[in-house]
Amino acid sequence: MKFEKIRAVFFDAGNTLIFPDYAFIKNVLADHGVQVSVAQLKDAEFEAKLEVLKHPSTKPWKLFFGTWFRALGVAEQDLSEIFAKLWKHHLEKNLWSHVNEEARPVLSALRARGYHLGVISNSDGRLETLLQQVKLADYFEIIIDSEKVGFRKPQVEIFKLALKKFKVSGHETLYVGDIYETDIVGAQNAGLTGILYDPLKKFENLKCLRIQKLSELLNFLSEKNR
C-alpha cells in the first residue's frame, strides 16, 4: 500500500520515538530486591498504560508507575521511595531518554523524500527540550506539547492544531503512535490516517494499519516531488 497524497507525518513521542530509561528503572527496582528483565519491564509497562486510560481523572504518574511496579512484584511500602527516585531522575534528565534505534534513519529518510514532519505528544511542557537533548528536535518542523497547548490526545483539537500549523488537511497526513485509543482513534476522529506502532504485537486483533518497526513506514511513503 502506498499513500500518494500524504504530505505530512506526525509522531507520538513516548514509546514511539523515545522510551523510558529501562536500565535505570531496572537498577532502581533491583535496589529494592526486585530483579526483572527489560522484556518484563516492557510487558508490564504496556498493561500499566492501558490502566491509566481507564482512569483519565486520576493523577497519571502515580497510577502508571504504581500499576507498572506492583505487577512486577514491588512491595507496597517501597513504592513511595521508588517514585521519589524516579521523579528526581525525571526532573534532572527526563526518564524518557532512550531513543528508538530506528528513529534517526527513518526521520532522515522521510525528510529526504520531502515529507513535513512533526510531533504531537501528551507531555509535561518539556517535550521540545527533551527532543533537543536527545538530538531529535531538528528533524521536526512542529513540536506540539499537550501541556503548552491545553489539549490532550485523543481530543481532536490537538490534531487539528497540528494540521492548521502545517497548512495540510487530514487526508494528507499520517499519525504514528503506540496506543490505539489515544493515538489512532484520536487521529482518525480528526480526519488523519493513523498507523499503530505495535512492536510488542499487543494489538494484532485490531483492524487498523499496524507496524512493528518504524522502518516499515518507508514502505507506505513514496519519494515526493519537492
Q: Which three cell numbers stand for residue 143?
A: 513540536
pLDDT given for residue 192 in this prediction: 96
b/e string for 151-175 if b means 16 or more Cβ within 10 A? bbbbbbebbbbbbeebebebebbbb
Residue holding cell 482518525? 188
Within 10 angstroms of residue 108's Cβ, the number of other Cβ atoms is 11
Give just the sign of the alpha carbon dihedral 178, 90, 151, 134: negative
What are the distances in angstroms from CA 108 to CA 5, 23, 112, 215?
A: 20, 27, 6, 11
DSSP characters over 149-206: HT--TT-HHHHHHHHHHHT--GGGEEEEES-IIIIIHHHHHTTPEEEEE-TT---TTS
pLDDT given for residue 224 in this prediction: 57
Task: Spell out the CATH class of 8-18+98-220.
Answer: alpha beta
pLDDT given for residue 1 in this prediction: 61
Residue 48 CA to residue 122 CA, distance in Å, equals 16
b/e string for 118-129 if b means 16 or more Cβ within 10 A? bbbbbbeebbbe
Per-position pLDDT tens, the chain of length 226? 667 789 999 999 999 999 999 999 999 999 999 999 999 999 999 888 888 777 765 567 788 899 999 999 999 999 999 999 999 998 888 888 999 999 999 999 999 999 999 999 998 888 999 999 999 999 999 999 999 999 999 999 999 999 999 999 999 999 999 999 899 999 999 999 999 999 988 888 888 899 999 999 999 887 654 4
Q: Which residues contact 168 (CB under 8 A, 6 or more apart)?
A: 7, 8, 116
Residue 170 CA to residue 10 CA, distance in Å, equals 11
Ordered by start, the domain boundaries in the chain are 8-18+98-220, 22-94
Q: Which residues contact 199 (CB under 8 A, 6 or more apart)?
A: 178, 212, 213
pLDDT given for residue 225 in this prediction: 43
Burial (CB < 10 A; 0-12, 13-18, 19+), residue 56, is exposed
- CA 50 centroid distance within chain: 13
